[in-house]
Every structure is written in structure tokens, then in C-alpha cells.
Chains A and B, each alone.
Chain A
């Protein structure tokens, strides 16, 4: 199924949880956070929340910046 991750279309297997999706993407998620369709998903909810067809997913982390 297709979802949008960080603004780009991406094919992912069906029935993935957020935790499984992050593992599938192979990202360093120690200091990462996820928003699903504009809503922040709490870290504790990552294993239970499933990704669905057409979902908009934002995965963010800390980068260098000042103001």
C-alpha cells in the first residue's frame, strides 16, 4: 500500500505499526518523533498504532539550528 512519508510517496507492507515502520525504514529513532495525519503519536503508542493506506506520516528529529 502507498503512504506519504515526509512528503514523498512510499510503498510499505500492510498492517505495519509505527514501531515496525520505523524499523522497516532503518532509521536511527532514538530522538525521533512521528506525526500521523497531522497528529503527534506518543512514543508509548507506537507499537499499537497501525499505518493505513494513504496516511500522511511525518518523521522528525533534531537538526542543527539556532533561530
Chain B
């Protein structure tokens, strides 16, 4: 059980879990539901796409995720301009999904790195529209500051490219982003395994968002629990305050009272 005083605040809402999970890439909706359940996440990302006109009566994603239980976080994945991203967010809100948005303005198909100019522009417009904007951004402290100034509810620097599983490539930049940010910092994308999530939280990040690391693990349900525990462990370690690193040994048993055999 997480202590009540350690809640994650985003916009006007508070959350117990600091792990945010995606719904993509699972072999089945049933497995997705079980993994999300096991992850303990309160916030779940979804994409917004055209309805298949031939899909009368087929099951939909929201038959498996109760919008009353989870806060849905629609993303603007696949949007390459601020205009597309803004329209996608407006559609998501009109669909009744959420006034939260995981804002992505993608700059390049191969790296999926963000187009930060479009991102800042879209953030300003969606903040004016009353959205709780959660922008996916580079691990660049200057952009993070500009997003905060534009009214973003948090900043979400990538650890590494989306789906790459490379872990945190630039912990020093993430630390600089955290030092200057007055809004929560959530590492979004690039986590590969539990230790990556723990490292992010030990650095002092406020949360971690991931999809592929869980959904594409050999056993997604087990990995979901591993991520839940890693985020919790990392958070506790950060709060507890780690010891300084030293080059030489320091004994942890007393020097006095040793036997003397001669």
C-alpha cells in the first residue's frame, strides 16, 4: 500500500501509482487487461484512430478498460504537425475519453524524436483549450522549460527512442530537467526492463510511462508487476537518500573488540 501523502499530481487530479502504461502491442485484449491490472497503474494511454466501418459489433478496447476505474490518457501518436495533434486531442475529448492528453508531435519516422517547435505550439493551444497537457519531449532542459512556461502539466522527456528498450541514455540531462522543473517530470519511452524504471525513479523522476517493455516482454503480466515494484523501489530509494559513492572500502563492523591471537 502506498502512503497517502506521496501522490502524483497532474492538473487537477491526484494519482497513487507513478507508473503509467500503454495499451498497444499486446497479443490479446485479455492479456492487456491482466497486465494493466498487475501493473497497478491508474493512468492508461490509448491512441485515437478511425473507426473500422466494417467492424459492426466487434469488441472495442474500452470493453477491456473501464474508463470509470482508469484515467484514460489519449495520445497524439503519429501526428507530425501541431495542427494534427491539436485536432486529435480535441477529437479525443469530444469522444468522452479525457481532457488529459499525452501530446506527441513527431519529427521523424525513423527515430520518432519529437518536433519540439510543433510541440511547444500545440502545448500552448491545448492549454488554452483547457487540456491537462503531458508533452512527450527530448531530454533537453531548454525545451522542458519552455513547455512548462507554455502551461504543460508535466514534462515527459524520453529515456531513449520509443520502443528501443535502451534505458536512460542521458541521466545528467534528466537531472538538470528535474532540478529546474516546477511541474512533475515523467520519463516517457525507452525503458527496457525493471532496473531502467528504478534508475529513473532513483534520479528523482516523478513517474515513468512505458508500453513496449511490458507488452513485448515474454511474459507481459509478470513484467507488469516487475515494473510496478521497480517504480515503487526507485521512489522509496530516492526518498530514503542514497549514500555517496566512494572509491575505497568502509568497514561496516566495529574496529574495537577484535580478538588478538598471537
Per a CB cutoff under 8 Å, which of B22, B67, B95, B210 touches A65?
B22
The answer to whether A60 and B91 touch (CB under 8 A), given A6-B50, A7-B50, is: yes
Query: Quick check: A33 and B56 within 8 Å, CB to CB?
Result: no
B215 lies within 8 A of chain A by Cβ: yes
Q: 1/0 per residue A56-67: CB within 8 Å of B?
A: 001111111111
Among B72-80, B137-145, B251-259, the stretch in contact with A: B72-80
Q: Which of A20-51 contact B (CB under 8 A)?
A: 25-28, 30-35, 38, 40-43
CB of B94 closer than 8 Å to a CB of A = yes
Closest residue on chain A to residue B163 by CB atoms: A67
Candidate in A26, A33, A59, A64 with the most chain B CB atoms within 10 angstroms: A64
Please give the number of chain B residues whose Cβ is less than 8 angstroms from any Cβ of chain A in the complex. Answer: 49
With CB as the reference atom, state the residue of chain A lying closest to B65.
A62
Q: Do A61 and B51 form a contact, CB below 8 Å, given A30-B62, A31-B62, A33-B94?
A: yes
**How many Å from the CB of B157 to the closest CB on chain A?**
13
Which of B1-9, B41-49, B178-186, B200-208 has 4 or more CB atoms under 8 Å from chain A?
B41-49
Interface string of B186-222 (1 = CB under 8 A from A): 0011000000000000000000011110010000000
Q: Across the interface, do A27 and B215 meet the contact criterion of CB distance under 8 Å? A: no
Contact at B94–A67, with CB atoms within 8 Å? Answer: no
Q: Which residues of A have CB within 8 Å of B100?
A: none
CB-CB under 8 A for A67 and B211, given A6-B51, A61-B49, A62-B97? yes
Give Cα A40 to B4, complex, Å.
39
Least distance between A28 CB and chain B CB atoms (Å):
6
State the CA gap A66–B77 with chains docked (Å).
Answer: 8
Q: Does B25 contact A (CB under 8 A)?
A: yes
B96 an interface residue at 8 Å Cβ cutoff? yes
B18 cross-chain contacts in A, Cβ below 8 A: none
Contact B188–A35 (Cβ < 8 Å): no
Closest A-B pairs by Cβ, 10 of them: A66-B22, A66-B211, A65-B47, A33-B95, A33-B94, A33-B91, A6-B50, A64-B23, A66-B24, A62-B46
Other than the given A35-B87, A65-B47, 14 more pairs (CB < 8 A) read A6-B50, A6-B53, A25-B53, A34-B94, A42-B94, A58-B50, A62-B46, A62-B61, A62-B62, A62-B74, A64-B29, A66-B21, A66-B77, A67-B188
Using CB atoms and an 8 Å cutoff, list the residues of chain B in contact with chain A. Answer: 21-26, 29, 32, 45-51, 53, 55-57, 60-62, 67, 72, 74-75, 77, 87, 90-97, 102, 104, 112, 136, 162-163, 188-189, 209-212, 215
What are 10 A-to-B residue pairs whose CB atoms are below 8 Å?
A: A43-B96, A58-B50, A59-B50, A61-B60, A62-B47, A62-B60, A63-B46, A63-B47, A64-B23, A67-B77
